[in-house]
Amino acid sequence: MTVRALAVAIFLLALTSCSSNANQLSGSYGQLYDLSFNSVTIVLQGEHVSIQYLGSGVDPAVLVVDLTNIVNVAGSSIDLAQLVNGQPRGVLQRVGTVTTDLPIQQGTVTFDQVPQVGQTLSGNFYATLSNPAGYTLNGGFNSTVTSP
């Protein structure tokens, strides 16, 4: 294979990997519950951003992040387990007929942009849960920010 053909192959591989859907959920938590969803909704209310993975009948994950006192939101790795006024900065929930809190032992979220209503917000989160202990839940998101 020539150098030129190799460069074209690498470019095409990179192009196809970048075109994949940014909205995704994964992690060992999927061993307990179905992580499939139909769409992602992002809501900005005051200093709180809610990323909702919406499914049929059950929303497998809702991440709510408190942005209070974060100077550089875009590009920062935000600690979801950090306490803000005695409450964790990030809260994960599974929403069905009953809402189940998924306490975060450790985790981060990164926003690629500053959340603004009407603008696209993308990013990802990684979380290790304390209940069920040791399970992971990770996600990527890319959607337009709305207000409540």
- What's the whole-number mean pLDDT along residues 105-130? 98
Q: How far apart are the first and last CA of the chain?
A: 55
Give the pLDDT score at 57.
83
CA 46/CA 89 separation, integer angstroms = 14
Note whether residue 96 is domain-resident. yes
**Which pTM value belongs to this model?**
0.83
Note whether residue 9 is domain-resident. no
CA 100/CA 61 separation, integer angstroms = 10
Note whether residue 6 is domain-resident. no
Give the pLDDT score at 5.
37
Give the pLDDT score at 2.
45
Q: Is 65 within 8 Å of 109 (Cβ atoms)? A: yes
Note whether residue 26 is domain-resident. yes
Q: What is the 3-state secondary structure (H, E, C) of 58-98?
A: CEEEEEEEECCCCCCCECCEEECCCEECCEECEEEEEECCC
- What's the whole-number mean pLDDT along residues 89-99? 93
Alpha helix (H) residue ranges in the chain:
3-18
Check pLDDT > 60 for residue 17: no
Share of the chain above pLDDT 90, in %: 80
Among 87, 98, 89, which Cα is nearest to 127's?
89
The domain of 99 spans 22-146
Domain total of the chain: 1
Instruction: Kindly report the average pLDDT of the chain as a whole number.
Output: 88
Note whether residue 89 is domain-resident. yes
Note whether residue 97 is domain-resident. yes
Note whether residue 5 is domain-resident. no
